[in-house]
Amino acid sequence: MIVPPAPRRPAPGGGLAVLVVITVLASLAAPHATALRSPLTSDRPVVAASESPGGRPALGSRPARAVAFALAQRGKPYRWGGEGSGGFDCSGLTWAAWRAAGVTIPRTAAGQLAGLPRVRSRLRPGDLLIYPSRGPSGRHVAIVVGRGRMVEALGRGIPVRSTSIRSGHLGAVRPGAGR
């Protein structure tokens, strides 16, 4: 009688190991991607990461890293004063995105508007748009991710999201640019 081999049992935690490997590979490949696609909004690219002359962030550039960080936060809860993993407020999101890209910027939307170089040309991914707000600070900030889109932490009950750029901003600033 021939005895069939015993079925192989997956190693404990094998699925987790595969997930970790895929996550690491995806994060290593992200700076080299030609476009990031937004599963929440459409199949259109929301930021190109391979061209710098056309106003888009170059591979691995600081604006590209800030945009990738902001996009990765979509779905996280709004939290007043939040600067990280548990949630974000609007300026905490932009502050953390640029910090992840290696650039120190002011923490508040008002400080970002007052302390960063103004955009006097076409908007680029990574630029910050400051809007008037009825909230306690009187200011709201979002980060441009490309193709008429921005990522923002709008307010209580609304998770970090990607949305179309709205008109009516008070100004746009460009972190990392010279004065």
The string of DSSP letters for 25-58 reads: HHHHHGGG-SEEE-TTT-SSEEEE-S-STTSSPP
Residue 178 domain-assigned (yes or no) = no
Residue 1 domain-assigned (yes or no) = no
* pTM summary value: 0.68
Q: CATH number, domain at 80?
A: 3.90.1720.10
Alpha carbons 141 and 150: distance in angstroms, whole number: 10
Question: pLDDT tens digits, the chain, 179 residues: what are they?
Answer: 666 666 555 555 555 454 444 444 444 444 444 344 433 333 333 443 333 444 556 657 999 999 999 999 999 999 999 999 899 999 999 999 999 999 999 999 999 999 999 999 999 999 999 999 987 789 999 999 999 999 999 999 999 999 999 999 999 999 988 65
Residue 130 domain-assigned (yes or no) = yes
Residue 95 domain-assigned (yes or no) = yes
Query: Looking at the 3D structure of the chain, how many domains does it have?
Result: 1
| Beta-strand runs (E) in the chain | 35-37, 45-48, 83-84, 87-88, 128-132, 139-146, 149-152, 161-164, 171-173
Residue 116 domain-assigned (yes or no) = yes
Alpha carbons 18 and 21: distance in angstroms, whole number: 5
Q: Residue 146: which domain range? A: 32-173
Residue 109 domain-assigned (yes or no) = yes
Residue 126 domain-assigned (yes or no) = yes
Q: Which residues contact 136 (CB under 8 A, 6 or more apart)?
A: none
Residue 53 domain-assigned (yes or no) = yes
